[in-house]
Amino acid sequence: MSIENIIVLIKGGGEMASGVAHRLSTCHLRICMTEIPKPQAVRREVSFCEAVYEGEKTVEGITAQCISSYDEIEEAWKADRIPLIVDPTFSIKDILKPDVIVDARIAKKNLGTKITDAPLVIALGPGFSAGKDAHLVIETNRGHNLGKIITEGEAEKNTGIPGEIAGFSAERVFRAPKNGVLSTVKEIGDYVEPEDVIAFVEDASIKAEIKGVIRGLLRDGAEVWKGMKTGDVDPRGIKEHCYTISDKARAVGGGVLEGILSYIYQ
């Protein structure tokens, strides 16, 4: 089986899904992505799901194009683009008949993916059991096992504690203080100091706790709920990192690629 003929259908278009799609696309696999009508990615500058709003989204030289029907997939591939379709029920699976399905939604639980959905089913992170829900599970927790392929059992449990960057963890994450509509004051790439106002949810402000650069921020006008992650600060303060794929997403993408290659050449 030639790698150029492998069709991979990716559920989700957020940061991790996009890191996977980017790595597979550069290796010449044929990728298609699905999304919901109003995706809410925090790291929008490196998330292909932004194509839902903008028509297309380019991340490190690879462009995803939002399409409206199955008939446009082949055309997108010929143009060296990743087709992304709004399909919350994942009905395109039955039409496309992919060789590989990757559940990259990072929902921390299985939202309906079955091991019988494709010849090879790969799931990212906790909520899936390898050998039961998917053939392979990829570890997404930062640390020694990040990107590891799990062939039996589950990934590490979700701790609810953000990964540490430059000594900071929970304090680098913005969260909604109440239910409502987000109104942003700052933008991705802006430098901030402690107590700077980042956004509002109705009349309640969201402020930075540490200094750094805003690496991720939900779209202005997004509907949020109390405690929901709305953005994050990178304390390293390197603006270029806001627009490039993270080490975590690259590692996870590498794990998926390894899993697919092992399947092809077994």
Task: Name the residue with tokens 């999304």.
Answer: 35
pTM value > 0.75: yes
Q: Where are the beta strands (DSSP E) in the chain?
A: 7-11, 30-35, 56-59, 62-67, 82-86, 100-103, 120-124, 129-130, 136-138, 149-150, 153-154, 173-175, 180-184, 191-192, 197-201, 204-207, 212-217, 223-224, 229-234
Q: Each residue of 47-93: pLDDT tens digit?
A: 999 999 999 999 999 999 999 999 999 999 999 999 999 999 999 99
pLDDT tens track for 199-210: 999 999 999 999
- Has residue 173 got a pLDDT over 70? yes
Task: Using pLDDT thresholds of 50, 70 and 90, give the confidence band for residue 261.
Answer: very high
Is residue 3's pLDDT more than 90?
no
- Structure tokens given for 72: 């446009």
d(CA 199, CA 218) in angstroms, rounded, equals 10
